[in-house]
Chain A
Amino acid sequence: MVDTILLMAAIFMLMGLLLSLYRFIKGPDITDRVISFDVMTIISVCLIAVIAHFAGRIIYLDVALVYGLLSFISVVVIGRYIERGL
């Protein structure tokens, strides 16, 4: 029962990931691509947590935390670069 509902949740997250991937490919400006990249990494953090439940390993949550940290730093650096150059 629990695993079935979590599988449905993972399918919803994958659909959101595909929609933001569409915006990442089509986006008319660089900022659209950066925003869709940010949303894709947030969705990936949730998806890694669900995969950690299915695998039964708590160590995967550390992977999710480091992934979110790196995506935050990269988005802030790209934003500074767009605003005023290096």
Chain B
Amino acid sequence: MEALKITGAILTLIGSVFIFLGGLGLVRMPDLFNRIQTGTKASTLGTILSLAGLALINEGWIWKILIIIVFVIITNPVSSNVIARAAHHRGVKLTSKTVTDMLEEEAPVLNKEEEAGQ
């Protein structure tokens, strides 16, 4: 039983390291979209790992922690997708190392419609 608790604690520590790397990528990345990638993906994995470790440590917490984990898995990519679409339609500049941009045909059309509407 003690070994299970120590395993859960180490799992929580690994998850917190992923969360720290997400915060570090949020500071160091050159572009908004790279910041979205590092921030939301790394912190989603870190959240899952650390909550699973806490469920191993404390008996009886497994169902509530499972609800939080499923909620994070569903909502986190949705919110990052909404912000990325909004930023691209707003015209945030990409970094100079960008290789491909799949949305670049769609954005000027939307701007034209807005101008025609006004």
List A residues at the B interface (Cβ < 8 Å). Answer: 1-2, 5-6, 8-10, 12-13, 15-20, 22-23, 29, 31-32, 34-36, 38-39, 42-43, 45-46, 49-50, 52-53, 58, 61-62, 64-65, 68-69, 72, 75-76, 79-80, 82-84
Contact = CB atoms under 8 A, between A and B. Distances in A.
Nearest to B14: A9
B52 to A, nearest CB: 11
A63 B108 CA distance: 43
B67 interface: yes
B interface residue count range (under 10 / 10 to 19 / 20 to 34 / 35 or more):
35 or more
Given A69-B71, A79-B85, A82-B86, A13 B5 contact: no
A43 B22 CA distance: 10
B83 A31 contact: yes
Given A20-B26, A29-B32, A61 B75 contact: no
B89 A22 contact: no
Contacts of B60: 58
Contacts of B100: none
Contacts, number: 170
B73 to A, nearest CB: 11
Nearest to A64: B68
Specify which of B47, B76, B86 lies most central, judged by the most chain A CB atoms within 10 Å of its CB: B86
A68 B15 CA distance: 18
B79 A83 contact: no
A31 B90 contact: yes
Contacts of B82: 75-76, 79-80, 83
B85 A16 contact: no
A1 to B, nearest CB: 6
B43 A53 contact: no
A18 B20 CA distance: 10
